[in-house]
Amino acid sequence: MLYHVRMDVHPPRDMPAAEFDALKAAEKVRAEELQRQGKWRHLWRIAGAYANVSIFDVADHDELHAILSTLPLFPFMHMQVTPLARHPSVIG
């Protein structure tokens, strides 16, 4: 099932840069892994913002929450989840 997720990152002001960089690197590794598994289907940067639009393809709400809530940057992100259904005008 597909979920549309918008993530806005709010980096903590008081965390040492090296520590936050490590979190970002871990986030990147995890994002690539989930893309290879076919679960993180699309990932786009919103121009001009520290934010992205993502499409996830997972089994159910519990798997979605398990994935999102364990992302390394989760404590510093605001997420907005929208369930996507099939549109009747889609071809193929």
The one-letter amino acid code at 15 reads M
The three-state secondary structure class of 75 is: helix
Show the CA angle centred on residue 59, arms to residues 62 and 64, nearest 5°: 40
Quote the least distance from Cβ 88 to a copy of itself, whole Å. Answer: 7
Quote the least distance from Cβ 21 to a copy of itself, whole Å. Answer: 13
The residue (of 22 and 83) whose beta carbon lies closer to a copy of itself is 83
User: Site residues (CB under 8 A) for a copy of itself?
Assistant: 1-5, 11-14, 27-28, 31-32, 35-36, 42-50, 52-53, 55, 60-62, 64-65, 68-69, 75, 79-92
For 67, phi then psi, to 5°, come to: -70, -50
